[in-house]
Amino acid sequence: MNNKLLLITFFLAISSQTNGINYISLQDVAPAQSNAESMANLKILEKNIENASNNKASVVSLASLYLQNNKNSKAIETYQQAILLDPTDAKLFAAISIAYLHNKHYKMAKAMIEQALILDPNLKQATKLISYIDKKQAKLAELRKSNM
């Protein structure tokens, strides 16, 4: 399984494990929306967040759309806002981990997914993501060593 597919599979697994919150998964958004539609939805959600920044579902939806549109830094900021609203939601920590991973912030990605596991030891796919991050970090360390 290639790396991008693994991350999307993990994200979809998290998205499908919701407890009363409508997380937008890549499966729901990507095939149905063109880039223009997706950008329009981003603008709508951004405006809604300005008016109701304490609405967790809206904040999470916006963060998911940022992630889907490769706006990883914005996704991180928005997931952080969602985590402030509910610091006990393991799925938020897993989602922000993926955003950090896309930005190549491997230590933060690992810290966030580990926090997700602390909050929910039964979170599916989390150990696979940790293993992926560990392998990625080992490979990067090996490359740095060989370049010396």
pLDDT of 2 reads 42
More confident site: 28 or 148:
148
Backbone angles phi, psi at 27, to 5 degrees: -60, -40
* The CATH classification of domain 3-146, taken from the options 1.10.620.20, 1.25.40.10, 3.20.20.80, 1.20.140.10: 1.25.40.10
Cα torsion through 75, 115, 107, 125, rounded to 10: -80
Over range 93-109, report the average pLDDT. 96
Tens of pLDDT, residue by residue over 39-58, are 777 677 677 666 556 789 88
Domain residue spans in the chain?
3-146
